[in-house]
Amino acid sequence: NLIPTPVLYGVFLWMSITSLEGSQFWERLLLIFTEQRQYPPAHFVRRVRQRRMHLFTLYQIVGVLVLCAFGFVPVDYLQMLLPLAIILLLPARYLVAPLIFSKEELSALDGHE
């Protein structure tokens, strides 16, 4: 009770924003708003078509939004399900994503360089 909750939210928000720089997810998110001829020569840009890359980014954004929905909902019982939602990201990646994306696309877009 010594540290106000808004201060903790601010610290966690600052940590999350500063950690975005350099992550492939952030780069792909910015590429949605970038003209294609200005794309950087990153390996995932060269190996995956533009539409498929943006579809994968959208797939990840939906996952983040689902986590935010569980984390920020004002109902305590739903907030308790946040760990379950995090665990369900694993089947979403390893069972659902291969149905949508090819193995080559996933290996290029998964962030492993």
The pLDDT assigned to 22 comes to 84
Question: How many CB atoms are closer than 10 A to CB 52?
Answer: 16
**Exposure string over 95-107, b if 16+ CB within 10 A, otherwise e:** eebeeebeeebbe
Torsion of CA 97, 45, 23, 99, to 10 degrees: 0
- Residue 1 pLDDT > 80: no
The pLDDT assigned to 42 comes to 85
Q: Which residues contact 14 (CB under 8 A, 6 or more apart)?
A: none
- Residue 72 pLDDT > 90: no
Q: Which residues contact 40 (CB under 8 A, 6 or more apart)?
A: 27
pTM of the full predicted structure?
A: 0.84
Question: For the segment 4-43, what is each residue's pLDDT rounded down to a tens digit?
Answer: 989 998 999 999 999 988 889 999 999 999 999 899 888 8
Place 111 in a pLDDT band, splitting at 50, 70 and 90.
low
